[in-house]
Amino acid sequence: MDDLLQQIRIILEEYEERITIRHLFYRLAGKGIIEKTETAYKGLCTHLSKWRKSRDIPYSAFVDSSRWHYGATTYSDEDEALEACVESYRKNLWQSQDVYVEIWSEKDAMASLLTPLAGEWGIKTFVCKGFASISSLFSAAGDFQRQQSRNKTPHILYIGDHDPSGVAMDSSMAKAWKNFGITPPVFKRVAVLPEHIEQFNLATRPVKSGDTRAKGWIGGCVEVDTLTPAQIRGLLEQEIIDLVDPYQWEQAKLIEQAEVDTLKSLAIHHAESKRETLE
């Protein structure tokens, strides 16, 4: 148990953001530290509960992305609202680009890892949770059509498992979009690719015996969770950089800073006017 705790701490140190327990489980299984079984996963949850209560692992290390709050954002007054506007303002830097980009993930466990990177670039992240539903694909098709009407080419940067079912998701989505009668987005599987197994020395597992798509599959299988945060970030960020027009991007950032400065001036002017009125 001491060795397991130490290995968990080493993995957690790789992350700046919180991760899911399921993601940690896949990392441990990929390293051969624990077995990749539901029994082992439940045991890990039990140990993590104990170690967090004893403060051996901080409570803040993990996130449960399947649960969230609903509700409106409210402010105590207009000053607070203006301040929030200044802090949160982000210009759509993709407005001057010829492409529209989204990151798609097969697994919900990857959301906490992908969201910071997507946020830095101002793009959306979509979690398929296995094979995406027809409803979600139809909704995405509407978004892609709107971007195409603005003369932009939609791109999906996809990360998922390297196994028969994981690879089949590509063609499944393409078939659905074809049935909707739209021009499908440019779909690129960023990870896991066969060459990543050797490049990153990834641990493989045999094809699942119950996978009906396993016929003709050659080689082992790899969960995307086996990749480290740095590996995933590096692969995705390079794809994003390759799609960006750097000159237009830098020009948009200069405009964004000017707009932020304007909002700050408005907030300061309002606060000063309010203070003079009260005096």
pLDDT, mean of residues 249-268: 94
* Percent residues over pLDDT 90 in the chain: 50
- The rounded distance, in Å, linking the Cα atoms of 65 and 19 is 9
Instruction: For residue 147, give the nearest of 194, 174, 186, 197 by alpha carbon.
Output: 186
Q: What is the pLDDT of residue 251?
A: 97
> For residue 222, is pLDDT > 70?
yes
In Å, how far are 36, 110, 244, 267 from 52, measured between CA atoms?
A: 22, 22, 43, 43
Residue corresponding to tokens 């529209």? 100
Residue 152 contacts residue 244 (beta carbons within 8 Å): no
Residue at 77: amino acid letter: D
Residue 97 contacts residue 245 (beta carbons within 8 Å): yes
Most confident option among 5-9, 217-221, 236-240 = 236-240
Strand, helix or coil at 211? coil
> For residue 225, is pLDDT > 90?
no
Give me the chain's average pLDDT, please.
89
Q: What is the pLDDT of residue 149?
A: 95
Q: Which CATH number is associated with domain 92-244?
A: 3.40.1360
Q: What is the pLDDT of residue 68?
A: 67
pTM of the model: 0.81
- The partner residues of 104 in beta bridges, in order of sequence, read 126, 158
> For residue 242, is pLDDT > 90?
yes
- The rounded distance, in Å, linking the Cα atoms of 186 and 193 is 17
Q: What is the pLDDT of residue 182?
A: 87
pLDDT, mean of residues 218-238: 91
Of 15-29, 76-90, 96-110, 235-249, the least confident: 15-29
pLDDT, mean of residues 97-103: 97
